[in-house]
Structure 1
Amino acid sequence: MKIAEVGNIIEFKDGLQGIVEKVNENSVIVDLTFMENFKQLDVEEKTVVNHKRYKILYGTND
């Protein structure tokens, strides 16, 4: 399992996307305001996602 790094864009939970702001031991903190439709989704600006529950879309090495 590849762990995301700060600045990576990840996808999780049925298509939500965000930018990784902090990497913890078991999870990442993600900024969801990256998504164009963020305001229509009625979700919090940031969320925590377990490492097992996301896919890295764009990495710092891409």
Structure 2
Amino acid sequence: MKIAEVGNIVEFKEGLQGVVEKVNENSVIVDLTIMDNFHDLEMEEKTVVNHKKYKILSQF
């Protein structure tokens, strides 16, 4: 399992995408505001995602 790094874009939960802001031991904190439809989703700006639950889309 490859662990995301700060700045990576990850996808999780049926298509949600975000930029990794912090890497923890078992999870990452993701900023969701990069999605075009973010305001329509009525979600918090940031969320926590377990390393086992995301796929890395782009790396820096």
What TM-score comes out, normalization by structure 1 length?
0.96
Q: Which has the higher helix share?
A: 1
Helix, strand or coil for the counterpart of 1:56?
strand
Which amino acid is the alignment partner of residue 33 of structure 2?
T
* TM-score of the superposed pair, with normalisation by structure 2: 0.99
User: What RMSD, in angstroms, separates the aligned Cα atoms of the two structures?
Assistant: 0.3
Take 2:24 and 2:51, find their aligned partners in 1: how far apart are those partners? Answer: 9
Kindly report which structure 2 residues correspond to 1:17-36, keeping only aligned pairs within 5 A, or say none.
Answer: 17-36=17-36
Q: Which runs of 4+ in 1 moved over 3 A?
A: none
Give the unaligned 5+ runs of structure 1.
none
* Alignment: residue pair count: 60
User: Percent identity of the aligned residues?
Assistant: 78
What is the DSSP-based 3-state SS (H/G/I as helix, E as strand, rest coil) of the residue aligned with 2:3? coil
| Ranges in structure 2 where 5+ consecutive residues have no aligned partner | none
